[in-house]
Chain A
Amino acid sequence: MKYMVMECHPAYAVLMDEASRVVYAANLHYEVGQTVENPVLLQEQEKAAPRISVTMKRCIAVAACAMVMLGGGALYYRGNYTPYATVMVCAEANVSMEVSRSGKVLSVQPLNQDAAMLLSDYECSGKDTLTVTNELIERAVDQGYVQKGDTVGVYYQKEKSKDSEEFQKNVEQSIASHDLQADVHGELDQAPVPPAAPAEPPVAPAPPEGKEEPPAPPQPGKDDPAPPAPHDQKEEPPAPAEPPAKPEAPAPEPGAVTPPEPAAPTAEPPGPPLPPEAPAVDDNVSPVEPIPNEVPPVATPVHPLQSPPA
């Protein structure tokens, strides 16, 4: 390509090529009108993408910082101030706690009147779930809602999470340290609705003693290992007369407690041989059914020949 020198300056020259392009080139001692080849052409600076101004850079930096702070704040808020799980402590006074991801207690709600009393003047904000659970159990013990040997139920909503397993272990340990029995479950839905019941079982051992009280009905069986003859049957009736012993049950013990525990005695009896004709039901059911209790007083006069009950 040939170039015609159109104009000369100390540092550069204006050239026109054969395609009528007009270009700048280094003035290598050219003269106007001269035709040259292979000139040193101006390297046109590639038009760079519009540069970002300093102000814009600052704005972008501020916006990025704001985004990071907002994101961090949102994560922090989610971890510390958003309910993540629910823990229910059932110790006569039933309490429900909302717990954050980080394990902090967000709020505590009483589920019954006793719980409202238990929570009066209690501040739980910012405390760990385990700490609050321990403190609530301590308060329940102090205020007499639970006693040694009672069972305390704790239900954690997030069953499958690792932290719940750890929490359950810790809770069991801490409850055991109060000489209480722990009933820790993972799923809240599985929590029994009447949580007051668990406090009663410790009283259950009474039945073995009661076993001797109702001995009256079995006694005849025991005394007469062989089933008595039919004529003996007539002498049997005094058995129902025994119920007078029943009144003992309500008297000394916290008798109100035992009635709900009927199942224990039923399972307990070793199964003494019962006379077939004898009302087998009497042994087991008599304590429960009130009817025999009422009937005997009436029946006693029916058997005057029998020795009067002691």
Chain B
Amino acid sequence: MKLDVHRLLAEINEAKKDPRACDRLIEQYMPFIRSETAKFLKRDPSPEDDELSIAMFAFYEAIRSYSPIKGAFLKFAALQIRSRLIDNYRKERRHQGQVSLDAPIGSEDDGLTLMDTVQDESRPFEELGVREATRQEIAHLTAQMEEFGVKLTDVADNAPQQQRTLAACQKAVCYARNNKDVLDEFLRTKRVPLTRLAEGAGVEKKTLERHRRYLVAVLLVCTNGYEIMRGHIMQVLKGGEAS
């Protein structure tokens, strides 16, 4: 029993550092996650249920935030899952008064639904094309980030949380975008020119140091070859404040 506990703790610690280990641990505990979801739904969850996805995400949150002083991991994770599912239920309840697009129209024999009568403004084929192009850009970006020793999960962990910090980083990115030699130096040396960015943008060098990996990702997006992603974060690249 003690060995199991120690093994679980070791796996959790490893999962905190390595996303692949985290995925493995989640896969390993899928029966537990299903069971907790079933307790909430009072039925077996299907793989398409959003509740199951949210329960898995809650389990991931539990892995990230767990420490031994919080008690047994599984109890902690169960509480986390239940809380998340309740939050989601309350959030979804706000939309209960709305009519479903799948609601039948006329007699049920006709088999027509509301969705059949609504004009679909989306262009699925175009969207699929854009999505594919975006996917390629992201794959390219991820590969290029590997050269800098940075992963997307690292960027997510290292991204600024406070508005003031985010504004300082965006200021530095704008400065780099307006000074091509800075970007060239960045690509050539594969190091973020923190001193130049700090001096040129007038921000604290220490602030930029703390978010170096985030700057790597955004500065790479600013270089040529990432048109779609640049379009997505145009607000930043124009030098505007993040909303």
Contacts and interface: CB of A to CB of B under 8 A. Distances in A.
Whether chains A and B associate is: yes
Interface of A: 1-2, 4, 6-7, 9-12, 14, 16, 18-29, 31-35, 40, 42-45, 51
Interface stretch (B1-9, B51-59, B104-112, B190-198): B51-59
B48 A29 contact: yes
Contacts of A45: 64-65
B138 A32 contact: yes
Nearest to A41: B57
B155 A40 contact: no
B179 interface: no
Contact of B159 (A9, A22, A40, A43): A22
Find the residue from A4, A18, A23, A33 having the highest chain B CB count within 10 A: A33
17 contacts: A4-B232, A7-B142, A10-B56, A11-B22, A11-B56, A11-B59, A14-B153, A18-B234, A19-B166, A19-B243, A20-B218, A20-B221, A20-B233, A26-B57, A31-B135, A33-B135, A45-B65
Interface size class of B (residues with CB under 8 A): 35 or more
Interface string B15-45: 0000100110011000000000000000000
Chain B residues touching A, majority SS: helix
B156 A26 contact: no
A44 B161 contact: yes
B152 A14 contact: yes
A23 B88 CA distance: 19
A18 B57 contact: no
Interface of B: 19, 22-23, 26-27, 48, 50, 53-54, 56-57, 59-61, 64-65, 69, 88, 130-135, 137-139, 142, 152-153, 155-156, 159-161, 166, 170, 173, 214, 217-218, 221, 229, 232-236, 242-243
Contacts of A6: 138, 152
A18 B235 contact: yes
Nearest to B137: A33
A20 B26 contact: no
B81 to A, nearest CB: 11
